[in-house]
Structure 1
Amino acid sequence: MKKLSFLLLLGLLTSCNDYLATDPEDFVAPETYYNNEAQLTSALMGIYTKLGNTINQGGSAEESTYSRFLSLEAPSATDEMLARSNSAVAVSSYSFDSSYPQIVNCWTNLYQGIDRANLLLERLDQANTSQEVKDQIRGEALFLRGYYYFLLVGYWGDVPLKLTSTTSVNDVNIARTPAHDVYAQIIKDMTDAEPLLKNGTEWGNSGRISKTGCQGVLARVNLYAAGRLGETDKYVAARDWAKKVIDSGQHSLNPSYSQIFKNESADVYDPQECIWEVEFNGNAIGSIYREASRFGSTLGVRNDEETRGYMQGLYVATGTQYNRYNAADLRRDWNIASYYYPGYDATRGPTTYATTYVWGRYINKWRRDSETLRPFNKNLGPTNWPLLRYADVLLMYAEAENEVNGGPSAAAILAVNQVRRRAYGFPLSTPATTSDLTTANTASKAAFLTFLKEERARELAFEGWRKLDLLRWGTFLTVMKGMIPIITAQAPSSSNAALGYYGRTATLLPYQNVSERDVLWPIPSNELALNQAMTQNQGWN
């Protein structure tokens, strides 16, 4: 076969496999397949699958989207988290290039999801099923196409905007589309999808996108367009979409912050708080499913004793992140470990960190003892990844409202206070001096935004949004380079392997490596070589 760009090649491999199934059917004939509700649903699940593929069709690990890469390596390093060791070539150490496998694979998977969506949208009307079914599937396919473009434009900037399925091996040269136009299409796709989607209560789970899920993501997309494109009129749309979620009455904060993440590890749905998740299933032991998460065995307190839940503990919190919390904030000791296992052996029981030890503590937001499947799979588990929580909607609403009004309104302040009251264990509707915003925090638009940026870091810690938030605020490089004097002054110089700390030199490395080019990822070298209309991002070879 003639060589194709990845963008096109994987479009031709459009799979109509059932969600999570082990044996997808590739190379099906479109004219004979999309004929009934079952086939349409199967094709739709093939689009969802790109959110979290763990094991590819050959049976080997891939993990280039939310199973591991987009949940761990891609959002690191920031002032929030970093890898324990930064000696290997990796996105998290800012030492990679355009041929880095996970960059190639992530790009490829996102475009394959887009091409699957395009083909389903083109063939949908030929099916012998009700208009209601067609509308629902159309809404989900439109939304997912928009979401995959949201990831592409967020990490790569200008990207090819392809709205029809691949039909020829010859059309390999597709130019990049300006980010403004990509965002416009994302917003159009999601806006068109929103009236077609079901309410979350009709699904009974958080794995399929709901009407309010679409509204919440539209708030996020508009916030990112406002920040990264300078299109400040988008703050109005961001506020209005977030308010639709709030006014729907379908969502509320879980009274217990820690329970959210226990539920995600136990495969328990909480659609009131967790509006949309990447749904992982099973642990690949005696299971037909190939959608199990890898991040759950990577992001936690290191433990080499497999019967207690093996954990690599590859990523740690920065001291800056730890110091964002005060001791009364219940989120601190849930998100960041207060203990470690001597000898990496959980059977010996935990040892509490010294109170003065704040650099290099393990991240502990998802814990393997919450998984209900036994025996443990060493590397794979059922933990779901949060893509949209109600707390995030409240914070997005407050941020957009602040921008639109030129300062915080009473509604914006209440939204933030609800998140903070939950964090301190207080009733959500009762004012509390310990948790609530002060007069200084609300004195001006700038003061409120400054506080809100820190509150997003506290509430959404390690959920993959910090780097993208810094990028949309235009502060990414300033924050990253600002970490160098902080680490030099505060972090211990020597390593302490027992505590999971690799020393000041390893800790400094990503912040020393990062440069202007890292505002965007490189176009994959394979794509650049095969697609003659493609150009590379500035600073990359």
Structure 2
Amino acid sequence: MKKSFLPKTLGLLLGLSCLSSCKDFLNTLPESTIAPQTYYKTEAQLTAALMAVYSEMGNSDESTYSRFLSLEAPSANDEQLLRSNAAVAVSAYNFDPSYANLVNCWTDLYEGINRANALLENIDKSQASAAAKEQIRAEALFLRAYYYFILVGYWGDVPLKLSSTTSAQNVNISRTPAADVYAQIINDMTSAEAVLKNNTDWGNTGRISKTAAAGMLARVNLHAAGRLGDASKYTAARTWALKVMNSGLHALSSDYSQIFKNESADIYDLKECLWEVEFNGNGVGNVYREIERFGSTLGIPNNNETVGFMQGQYVATGVQFQRYGTGDLRRDWNIAPFTYTGQDATKAQIPYAATYVWGRYIAKWRRQYQTIAFAKNFGPTNWPLLRYSDVLLMFAEADNEVNGGPTTDSYLALNQVRRRGYGLPINTVSTVADTRAGQSKADFLTTLKDERARELAFEGLRKLDLLRWGTFLTVMKGMVPIITAQAPSASNSGIGYYGRAATLVPYNNVSQRDLLWPIPSTEISLNKSMTQNTGW
């Protein structure tokens, strides 16, 4: 029979033997045939169950961060778009509630929640040490909250289910107001943060750590402040960001591009990178199937598979390219400054003309830095969920809100990010990189918004930022006259541009209903208590 998100838990433990999300943490596989009544006894079994919760972040069906949540879901916006826009896609704003990627994302997120609930309900049955149980409990609690954070961000009011499903009968659960969902997220993340270890204890960025939880709490509170219209949340956001900054555990990498080279090469930067979705292998003979596809979907097109196939499906907008100032090194790392002759990375690079600003390929992750054998579509590049520069920018934003304008601390946090972007010492005043002093609260927020776009370009944050600032539709519709006036009318697909008509598609299509995604049609048909979002 067909199932909604609710009755999937009974199959959870039966699938554990093929799941692993933190490749450097779990090296052994659990039993192949297990049941909830007899499982959860040892620390190894609890760990395996926890890894099954993590696993939904990098699900091999590409419905979460392997490709959908990293690329399609946060597009199109004013920084990036799918270059063709000929097919049905979330990024083209021409989909409906039955769209498969949407249905699968919803299902996988609730599967992760169900797995977390089952683990939380059974953890005290274990013979593991109290310390081990509390650590695993904290991680499961945080992950459940994080999955709800994705759900409430894209869908708004969603069913808040805090117990696992043990029967296929009770599938009629109504939606919970977003304010209550945010409250539960903050409560659970706060409880988890008090227990979690630092990432120096893990030696990797795949498991959630104390400072990563604090940084995510800053993000959640900023989103709650904007989406709920609750200005009191800015104080909490500032407090959580400051806690990360004062921990002494994190700092900006001196080389911006090295962050993303490391993510492809499986090198952990514990100071800059607080939390990442870990991917493993290339899908060839790999039992875990924790592989990503965003690396081959992005990039400067290359058809020579021996050096890393890349499709170049997503491109930067001219608006994004023009945001970078002269001397900002981030521009030519994030946005390709060249193409390859014959789309072959072993041949000569063809530099873009300086006047060509629309449709350049996104090049933030480049497969040449992967250190394993290349497979055409799949790779091991980690996806960034939280970086220290984001923490600094969140602090600057919250500090500006709390104090009614930018303080010395606001400027310092923002300018450190900017100085690194220009390749300058972050603690030295710079007339080149530093933002203008004496700004009003509104002006500083505008500066901050642009800086987030420059620093965090293509990391899946821009669209949700625009939504929490309440400017999404204004910005999207504002792209139409810009594209009409600036973007060339003719296509030049050889260098990434499919023409003005293709570029305009998402911006013409987007409407009020796109402030939230539709509840998947499968859920509407099976859950009789479910209502649909407006406009769908």
Per-residue Cα deviation, 1:441-486 (whole angstroms, up to 9, x for no partner) = x421001000000000000000000000000000000000000000
| Superposition map of 1:349-388 within 5 A | 349-374=348-373, 376-388=374-386
Per-residue Cα deviation, 1:161-206 (whole angstroms, up to 9, x for no partner) = 0000001111010000000000000001101101110011000000
Tell me, yes or no, if structure 1 residue 114 matches structure 2 residue 110: no
2:277, 2:385 within 8 Å by CA — same for their partners in 1? Answer: yes
Distance (Å, rounded) in 2 between the aligned partners of 1:214 and 1:356:
43
Which SS does the other structure have where 1:316 is aligned? strand
What one-letter code is carried by the residue in structure 2 that aligns with 1:290?
R
Structure 2 residue aligned with 1:531: 527
1:492 to 488, 491, 495: 488
Tell me, yes or no, if structure 1 residue 38 matches structure 2 residue 51: no
Q: CA RMSD in A?
A: 1.3
| Superposition map of 1:234-249 within 5 A | 234-249=233-248
Which SS does the other structure have where 2:360 is aligned? coil
5+ residue gaps in structure 1?
A: 55-61
Distance (Å, rounded) in 2 between the aligned partners of 1:80 and 1:262:
21
1:516 to 512, 516, 521: 512
Structure 1 residue aligned with 2:95: 96
Which SS does the other structure have where 2:81 is aligned? strand
User: 1:27, CA displacement in angstroms?
Assistant: 7.8
Which SS does the other structure have where 2:346 is aligned? helix
Which SS does the other structure have where 2:147 is aligned? helix
What one-letter code is carried by the residue in structure 2 that aligns with 1:461?
A
Structure 2 residue aligned with 1:10: 8
Which SS does the other structure have where 2:37 is aligned? helix
Per-residue Cα deviation, 1:488-534 (whole angstroms, up to 9, x for no partner) = 00000000021111000000000000000000000000000010000
User: 1:285, CA displacement in angstroms?
Assistant: 2.7
User: 1:22, CA displacement in angstroms?
Assistant: 11
What one-letter code is carried by the residue in structure 2 that aligns with 1:291?
E
User: Mean alpha-carbon deviation: is it higher for 116-125 or for 339-348?
Assistant: 339-348
1:251, 1:271 within 8 Å by CA — same for their partners in 2? Answer: yes
Tell me, yes or no, if structure 1 residue 448 matches structure 2 residue 444: yes
Per-residue Cα deviation, 1:44-72 (whole angstroms, up to 9, x for no partner) = 00000000112xxxxxxx10000000000
Per-residue Cα deviation, 1:240-290 (whole angstroms, up to 9, x for no partner) = 000000000000000000000000000100010000000001112343331
1:281, 1:382 within 8 Å by CA — same for their partners in 2? Answer: yes
Structure 1 residue aligned with 2:418: 420
User: Mean alpha-carbon deviation: is it higher for 428-437 or for 354-363?
Assistant: 428-437
Distance (Å, rounded) in 2 between the aligned partners of 1:336 and 1:82:
13
What one-letter code is carried by the residue in structure 2 that aligns with 1:73?
E
| Superposition map of 1:131-170 within 5 A | 131-170=130-169
Distance (Å, rounded) in 2 between the aligned partners of 1:369 and 1:408:
41
Distance (Å, rounded) in 2 between the aligned partners of 1:255 and 1:347:
29
2:477 to 475, 481, 496: 481
TM-score, L = length of structure 1: 0.96
Distance (Å, rounded) in 2 between the aligned partners of 1:206 and 1:160:
30
Change (3 A) 1:514 1:25: farther
Which SS does the other structure have where 1:277 is aligned? strand
1:409 to 391, 397, 407: 407
2:7, 2:166 within 8 Å by CA — same for their partners in 1? Answer: no
1:302, 1:312 within 8 Å by CA — same for their partners in 2? Answer: yes
1:138, 1:196 within 8 Å by CA — same for their partners in 2? Answer: no
User: Mean alpha-carbon deviation: is it higher for 383-392 or for 16-25?
Assistant: 16-25
TM-score, L = length of structure 2: 0.97
1:22, 1:289 within 8 Å by CA — same for their partners in 2? Answer: no
Distance (Å, rounded) in 1 between the aligned partners of 2:7 and 2:163:
14
Structure 2 residue aligned with 1:85: 84
1:275, 1:388 within 8 Å by CA — same for their partners in 2? Answer: yes
1:13, 1:26 within 8 Å by CA — same for their partners in 2? Answer: no
Distance (Å, rounded) in 2 between the aligned partners of 1:155 and 1:215:
22
User: 1:25, CA displacement in angstroms?
Assistant: 6.8
1:52 to 58, 63, 67: 58
What one-letter code is carried by the residue in structure 2 that aligns with 1:510?
P
1:14, 1:27 within 8 Å by CA — same for their partners in 2? Answer: no
Distance (Å, rounded) in 1 between the aligned partners of 2:195 and 2:384:
23
Per-residue Cα deviation, 1:353-387 (whole angstroms, up to 9, x for no partner) = 0000000000000001111112x100011100000
Distance (Å, rounded) in 2 between the aligned partners of 1:284 and 1:104:
24
Tell me, yes or no, if structure 1 residue 325 matches structure 2 residue 321: no
1:53, 1:65 within 8 Å by CA — same for their partners in 2? Answer: yes
User: 1:348, CA displacement in angstroms?
Assistant: 2.2
Distance (Å, rounded) in 2 between the aligned partners of 1:137 and 1:197:
9
Which stretches of structure 1, 4 residues or more, deviate above 6 A after TM superposition?
A: 21-27
Per-residue Cα deviation, 1:92-134 (whole angstroms, up to 9, x for no partner) = 1001000000000000000000000001000001100111001
Change (3 A) 1:25 1:467: farther
Structure 2 residue aligned with 1:171: 170
What one-letter code is carried by the residue in structure 2 that aligns with 1:487?
I
Distance (Å, rounded) in 1 between the aligned partners of 2:122 and 2:505:
50
